[in-house]
């Protein structure tokens, strides 16, 4: 089994998949192969169906079962070189609106973070719509203070993009990068190197609790809030798409459901 998992990892690395995706695919395929136990080189569509059904029976979410199916499909097509049809449809995923923090709530969160580095990290994530992975991987050379832009490199899907940098953060950024070379991380760990994603997430979670905000928000809600607030300011959805790095406009359009000005003008019949 280890031989097949190594081949899977090699194929994923050749295609420049992220380390997180490689770990995820490897875990999913390893789980499937352990269930199958033998004949790893044979693609048995019925066994794949039974495996996916077992995940559903275990109460796994649609996102989880789809992730397993995606990984197994990749394994069959790119490692086993299967060219037949795997006639298993992906499960429907629930259509949930993103959790968005108001401008006041963003202000409250920032007001309770005393640590200057952590405060800047949260402010920068919100002001540019950065993912947690993008924040911790940000290097000094990625920030252009004169142009007020942040260059996000090798983001999700291996894409680069340019996003916004507010002028009010310039002094704070200058303080944190002073003395650093261009290849050093902006938000370095006390032990050297970059912060972990979990550390960044914990900073946000602690601030959310300290600010007394009850929404089930996560670090990613900063990105949701960035997009929603831009649309509220009248920015065209296609510019928002570019700033977020979305390949498909439909992904960005979910935020128009959160910030529908026409809907806000309608009053409830209960007066």
pLDDT tens, position by position, 40-80: 888 889 999 999 999 999 998 888 999 999 999 999 999 99
Active site residue 223: yes
Active site residue 156: yes
pLDDT tens, position by position, 127-146: 999 999 999 999 999 999 99
Q: Which of 25, 32, 185, 255 is catalytic?
A: 255
Active site residue 161: no
Q: Which of 151, 156, 180, 210 is catalytic?
A: 156
Place of tokens 């959310």: 208
Q: Which of 246, 250, 264, 267 is catalytic?
A: 246
Domains identified in the chain and CATH numbers? 2-79 (1.10.150.130), 103-261 (1.10.443.10)
Element (H, E) at 144: strand 143-144
Position 191 scores a pLDDT of 83
What does the CA dihedral 42, 7, 14, 158 come to, rounded to 10 degrees?
80
Q: Which of 118, 139, 161, 223 is catalytic?
A: 223
Q: Which of 26, 49, 141, 220 is catalytic?
A: 220
């Amino acid at each position: 089994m280890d031989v097949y998992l190594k081949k899977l990892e090699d194929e994923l690395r050749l295609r420049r998949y992220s380390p997180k995706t490689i770990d995820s695919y490897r875990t999913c395929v390893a789980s499937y192969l352990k269930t199958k136990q033998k004949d790893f080189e044979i693609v048995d569509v019925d066994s794949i169906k039974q495996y996916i059904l077992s995940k559903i029976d275990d109460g796994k979410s649609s996102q989880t079962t789809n992730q397993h199916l995606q990984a197994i499909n990749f394994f069959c097509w790119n490692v086993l070189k299967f060219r037949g049809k795997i006639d298993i449809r992906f499960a429907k995923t629930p259509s949930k609106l993103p959790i968005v923090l108001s401008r006041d709530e963003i202000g409250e969160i920032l007001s309770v973070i005393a640590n200057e580095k952590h405060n800047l990290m949260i402010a920068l994530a919100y002001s540019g719509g950065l993912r947690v992975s993008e924040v911790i991987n940000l290097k000094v050379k990625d920030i252009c203070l004169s142009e007020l832009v942040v260059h996000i490199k090798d983001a999700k899907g291996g894409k680069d993009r340019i996003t916004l940098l507010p002028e009010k953060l310039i002094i704070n950024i200058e303080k944190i990068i002073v003395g650093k070379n261009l290849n050093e991380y902006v938000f370095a760990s006390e032990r050297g190197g970059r912060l972990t994603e979990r550390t960044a997430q914990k900073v946000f979670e602690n601030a959310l609790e300290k600010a007394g905000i009850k929404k089930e928000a996560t670090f990613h809600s900063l990105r949701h809030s960035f997009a929603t607030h831009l649309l509220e300011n009248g920015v065209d959805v296609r510019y928002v798409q570019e700033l977020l790095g979305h390949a498909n406009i439909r992904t960005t359009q979910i935020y128009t459901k959160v910030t529908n000005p026409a809907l806000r003008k309608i009053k409830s019949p209960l007066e």
